[in-house]
Amino acid sequence: MRTFWHSCREKNGIRFWLHFRNRSCVAIEFYWWSSLFGVSIGPDDEGWDLSVKVPPFSLYISLEGVGLWRPRKKCIATWDGNREFWIPDRREFSFSIYDWSVRFALWERWGEWHKVDPWWIRGVHVDLRDLLLGRATCKTEELASGIPCQVPMPEATYPAVAKIERRTWRRKRWFSRVRTSAWLDIPKGIPHAGKGENSWDCGDDGLFGIGGDTIEDAVKRARESVLRSRQQYGNASKEAMTAAIS
């Protein structure tokens, strides 16, 4: 097979692939208006990957099937007479800054974390907000509870019980932030059809609780949420509707 290439445009970037006769491939992705910052390099199941991200640009390069060395780890097939076999051991050098956090790792396991590993494999993570302002804490106070209310729906009105809570977020060296909100418990739920995507969400489903800025807001959000679910997934069965109303 001859060497060939192809590409495609993204909304804020371009992707390019160069294929060689020996089935190796060089893939390049370039994006603009990116907010990411960092660099990483390491092997994957097919080759090596490199990424360089400096706002507003991001560059990703992947080398597949080019014959470069890749680390492997030994496994034991206990189901096959303790036969030994080897699989790719994905590792990565990475340095990144995101959401006020700095992360650095010299030879990090990809998709794994072991407490017994040394720091240069586990990686180091520093939250700059915690370092400069102190760790964030959240205190929740219940101001009122057991408040009866109702959620009006087209077919009936559903009983619910509300509570008012106040949450206070603090850092040792920063201002406090306070928010008062309401939570709505709906004991029998407000029925709607399940998503039907898996064995556990087929058949009837329902909304049993929701929050809001105030009780009125929570009631409004409950009604809108159920109507949206019914429009997307359908109505619940007549039996479920009758059981929730009674």
Structure tokens at 171: 């850092």
Mean pLDDT on 193-206: 83
- CB atoms < 10 A from the CB of 231, how many? 10
Percent of the chain with pLDDT over 90: 74
Residue 91 has pLDDT above 70, yes or no: yes
Residue-level pLDDT at 195:
83
- CB atoms < 10 A from the CB of 38, how many? 17
Mean pLDDT on 79-97: 92
Mean pLDDT on 149-174: 95
Give the model's confidence band at 15: pLDDT under 50 very low, under 70 low, under 90 confident, else very high: very high
Mean pLDDT on 226-243: 90
pTM reported for the whole predicted model: 0.68
Give the model's confidence band at 1: pLDDT under 50 very low, under 70 low, under 90 confident, else very high: low
Mean pLDDT on 185-206: 87
Residue 65 has φ and ψ, to the nearest 5°, of 65, 30
* Mean pLDDT taken over the chain: 92
Mean pLDDT on 85-110: 92
**Strand 4-10 and strand 13-19: pairing?**
antiparallel
Residue 50 has pLDDT above 70, yes or no: yes
Domain borders along the chain are: 4-133, 137-245
Residue 52 has pLDDT above 90, yes or no: yes
Beta-carbon contacts of residue 118 (< 8 Å; ≥ 6 apart):
none
Q: What is the pLDDT of residues 98-127, one digit of tens each?
A: 999 999 999 999 888 888 999 999 999 999
Residue-level pLDDT at 95:
96
Distance CA 246, CA 243 (A): 5
Mean pLDDT on 199-211: 88
